[in-house]
Structure 1
Amino acid sequence: MASLIRPARSSRMLRGALWLVGALAAAPFVASAIGGHASAAEGAFVIPAPKVDEASKAGSETAVIAGGCFWGVQGVFQHVKGVSRAVSGYAGGGASTAHYDVVGTGTTGHAESVAVTFDPKQISYGEILQIYFSVAHDPTQLNRQGPDTGTQYRSAIFVENADQKKVAEAYVAQLGAASVYPGKIVTEIAPLKGFYPAEAYHQDFLTLNPDYPYIVYNDLPKIENLKRLFPAVYRDKPVLVSAANG
């Protein structure tokens, strides 16, 4: 639905279209599996659960994660049981530069991020990270995801406290030792200095635009992979920002 997209978003669409043409041309030559993990064509990795995790706690908790375009990352976690809210936004930079047009220059320190609020009694922080590292993005891509390039599309976990830092660092080390990816994990683990919600037209984008070519090729497969690899936590009806605001 092009009417929902501002002109600044057109560069992502053009890159996505060009990448799609190349990917489809190369598709017959992509193996179905590489070294025991899911292939890049599937857009998912079969990985072990974290050995180190937070203890169950009362109340709610928020995980702030970045893995490329926030449309797909938000869409994935909106379909996860135990998640009460998933908001697209910016983290890593200051409040004055937390605007899409500025973040898109790659000079602000921000990464397109998603703040995932969840109930630790239903799903743990470690389980949130397992989904993040498995189906939400490819943690071996440095300063990019798919057709999107720049530091604003980097893989990053912004931790709120020492417990989150401990779990994230231990899990990156565990996955690295397990050699479940074709390359080195490049995910940045950094303290959360602030999270700034993105513009309204970015929220719930996957759900509101399921036929958009970028979404169809890059993001809807993530939802299918979530359903396939994590059936116990998948929910068909997403929790939407617009519904909460309404």
Structure 2
Amino acid sequence: MIDGNTFIDCTTGPVVGFSNASGSNATQWVKHKNVSIANNTIIDNTPQSGQPLFLLTWIDKLTVSGNKHIGTRARAIEQRYCSNVNITGNEFASYVQDGMTINEGGTAAELPWAGTGVSTNIKVQGNTIQSANIAGIRLANGLKRVAVTGNVIEKVGVGGVAYPGIYMLSGPAGATIEGNLLDGTTGNMLFGVDVRSGCTGIIIGDNQVTGGAPYSHAGTGRLAAGGSGTPLSVIVAPVGSTWGRTDGGAATSFYVKETGAGAATGWVAK
């Protein structure tokens, strides 16, 4: 347990780092168990733009909660090959890459594990990310059973290139994304939530999105959300998705996606 500490200007690497627990190659690796990183304050008076705040790999039963970061880092969290994860109630500041990156990949020795179900049962809930040059939260590769709910993400794409608030790509399976506040009124937000093709079983519910296009869902699963305006030619979503139009009228207040998976076509007003 790493709890209740204050870290100031840690300049040589991540403030907290866990790597593979044993062995020189992937066939020998086992996971760390029961890791808690909670209620710490991290202050970077000098920007540490080359290092993440927390580098977390090969952990089962991981909790990251109630931490506060003041300053600039590469990322708040870089997490790979972890299971039974709760990332909750943290206040994260300013990042020159993504606010959080949760994925599989890494070293050549780790890659044989990608897509094998090592990274599963991951909850990201109630966190605040104030600024990121790229995406607020990036979820990539073979993640399974992920929930991203109730987070506040502000000012993404501040490096000049437009990026999503929540970005999912390269094969996550079985995820729910809902109840997040995604504020793109400053910065350069491409979409509130962007799910790329190859992601499967992804459910996007209602999120509060300002300052950017709300959704693009080119994977499989369903979008069940709403907002102002017609989704036709605007919202990419899987067949079977629904859209409640808040400024609609008779026969234009509810839309069902009937055709055109992976495109913004096929929305029919009911």
| TM-score, length basis structure 2 | 0.21
Higher relative contact order (CA 8 A, sep 6+): 1
Greater radius of gyration (CA): 2
TM-score, length of structure 1 as denominator length = 0.23
